[in-house]
Structure 1
């Protein structure tokens, strides 16, 4: 699994969302300062809900950033998640793990002491020119968004 580093070109992608397809290129075209792409294991679970609500509450759009969350969940579950938590950013579905793998966010990880293959909770800040400004792997859901915003809102 190749990991992205600061300065690398962010892999472009198009993902289905409850409101239709969204691409990194489209988000970059709308973003003044960049795009935050975050990968999470499963909608409507405690950690993923905390993280999504923290991104919502950070109001990063007001600071010039577009946000997208991506998981392997089906569109119907993403719609329920977005509706239940009043999320104001798109949630993308990546059931074949193509986008997750391109960002190094799919692979072996420890889960309750066992090695499993799955989503590695990760966040990327993509500059307007499409390069990686921040690449954060194996992040914890709680408090993570505060660290992201501290790094970019200076």
Structure 2
């Protein structure tokens, strides 16, 4: 059988949105193929608002979560393999689902992690996505 993970992500996304809440995903950015704005990565993780207000052309298929979004006024095309999604939850009450981290061959070792750029705080203004750490907005 195929993985149930993409089906669960889609179902929880719909449940969160139907209840008037904001769906967020947490992503393991060390997973191969993950394409997100590097400057917002903290401890190899990025948390993203994937609500319809924050994204354009959101697609959650069996392979990946893809969408367009603006960070600091700059447009980005994001690509997140389903295996890189470690949680989906409502921003307002943290209800949702966590998934186990999946092992992969290209996991960054400590030296490679040290080479990643430092995270910078989110700029204020008309950002559509919010950078959060530990469930709190920065």
TM-score under structure 2 length normalisation: 0.27
* Higher helix fraction (1 or 2): 1
TM-score under structure 1 length normalisation: 0.25
